[in-house]
Chain A
């Protein structure tokens, strides 16, 4: 599947369709500003969408509200105005849709075996017990951790722990997988390998991804589309399609060129204020 160099109207990723998996319209969120009158705007009229099977990134500087945006989409944080829809089911985000989440750090339950770590989310999502074994085995194999079921997380390297976190998120067969800078805690070499492997995994799992990062080159290499976000105001100021066929190489000149242009634009926008 990875070899097909086709580029559809919507996306460069084969298997992606025009169905919308995540839609955010005019989302605004404010916090009470500490020590000051009025409120501090965390997210300002954010509008974005992710097509089914699409890989979309949001790039922005630290503190621009990317994680808050993911949490609102996951349904664990509130917002004042605007609409969030996940998995083509309207309503409050996360109320019905299955949402997988991969955090910056693996956030594993170290006292549970690898298998029990995945079973924890299967139980949380009310997935019937007879399916557990198959789901665990399938997704561990997908991330290259086959046979690790009885092992404990502390036995795994940092990269393997994050793979387990990915397997855990995929095991619930999510409508969308939210990833919050998942490779930022890994060393550069492991992170690079993880990026390749993530694309490999997704080619098989065909999951919709919304990926948050501060690393532009990571976003360009991985994504079908990239949203660029500014800080104060926390807005999306640009949307870019990465029309480069897969499989990709990070040193592909088209990727590098796009990266260069975006870096210029990104810092231009940040410094213009």
Chain B
């Protein structure tokens, strides 16, 4: 019960913060009083509605750009998660690989992601591959390190319990190893998702054709502040929906057992 009350309270707090931000924005735009510099939130909403309802300047609808960006994010996200999990597990299994990667990964992690985008574009051109490589170069090392740490933290005594009861490897992986890795996978998951959409937006702004980031750049070229802001809002709202609506929900379900103590006992 306490959990639910906390949930309602934090949701109310979040709504209030967003309302406050909108209010500040609205006041600021009144003070600036120039829609080319800072249009108000209502104006932006109107533009978004128009953008969504009409064909854009490039001859296709806003949904096309939104769809392309989402597809790029999902593909890059899944690819870097899989690569990161694979490399992390490989590091856990091979001491030699661990030594090599532990030395190399910090170099990749300190590299600013915008440099990655430039490098990828210079190597692979303005192509989908360039964007994918940029995201993977930024996100994969982080995921790999997280998964590797997860494998280090697995409880050996539980594995021993499973072996004592003659559980075979597939059962051990499913019921003993993976659940222990889940917190690490989820933490990598959230970070990877956050980084992925930022890098995809960057790559779209600087190199790729179509997509939300491309639209930023297009309207930036026209010096159309209202449209730039409109696309930023579209982007942020989409990512918030994905993060809080989808991933947070998945995470809560996966870790229900941890909240056991908070729920009234069935006994």
How many of B's residues come within 8 Å of A, CB to CB?
A: 25
What sequence of 0s and 1s flags, for each residue 234-265 of chain B, a beta carbon within 8 Å of any chain A beta carbon? 00000000000000000000001110110101
CB contacts (< 8 Å) of A105 on chain B: these are: 157
| A256 within 8 A of partner (CB) | no
| A228 within 8 A of partner (CB) | no
How many of A's residues come within 8 Å of B, CB to CB?
A: 30
Q: Tell me which of A99, A109, A153 contacts B175 (CB under 8 A).
A: A109
Interface centre among B165, B168, B179, B257 (most CB of A within 10 A): B165
Chain B contacts with A in 58-114, Cβ cutoff 8 A: none
Chain A contacts with B in 73-94, Cβ cutoff 8 A: 74, 76, 94
CB contacts (< 8 Å) of B157 on chain A: these are: 103, 105, 107
Q: Tell me which of B160, B162, B258, B265 contacts A151 (CB under 8 A).
A: B265
Given contacts A103-B161, A109-B158, A123-B171, contact A154 B166 (CB under 8 A): no
B168 to chain A, nearest CB (A): 7
Number of contacts between A and B (CB, 8 Å)?
72
| A110 within 8 A of partner (CB) | yes
CB contacts (< 8 Å) of A155 on chain B: these are: 260-261, 263, 265-267
| B19 within 8 A of partner (CB) | no
| B164 within 8 A of partner (CB) | yes
| A5 within 8 A of partner (CB) | no
The majority secondary structure among interface residues of chain A is: loop
| A172 within 8 A of partner (CB) | yes
Chain B contacts with A in 165-188, Cβ cutoff 8 A: 165-168, 171, 175-176, 179, 182
Instruction: Say yes or no: B161 contacts A151, CB within 8 Å.
Output: no
| B163 within 8 A of partner (CB) | yes
CB contacts (< 8 Å) of B158 on chain A: these are: 107, 109
Chain B contacts with A in 136-172, Cβ cutoff 8 A: 157-158, 160-168, 171
What sequence of 0s and 1s flags, for each residue 92-124 of chain A, a beta carbon within 8 Å of any chain B beta carbon? 001000010101010101111100000011011
* In the complex, residue of chain A having the shortest beta-carbon distance to the beta carbon of B179: A111
Instruction: Say yes or no: B164 contacts A148, CB within 8 Å.
Output: no
Instruction: Say yes or no: B260 contacts A124, CB within 8 Å.
Output: no
- Shortest 8 CB-CB contacts between residues of A and residues of B: A124-B167, A152-B260, A107-B161, A154-B260, A111-B179, A121-B165, A155-B260, A124-B165
B residues with a Cβ closer than 8 A to A are: 157-158, 160-168, 171, 175-176, 179, 182, 256-258, 260-261, 263, 265-267
In the complex, 7 of the A-B residue pairs with CB atoms within 8 angstroms, ordered by the A residue number, are A101-B161, A109-B176, A120-B162, A124-B162, A148-B266, A151-B267, A152-B257
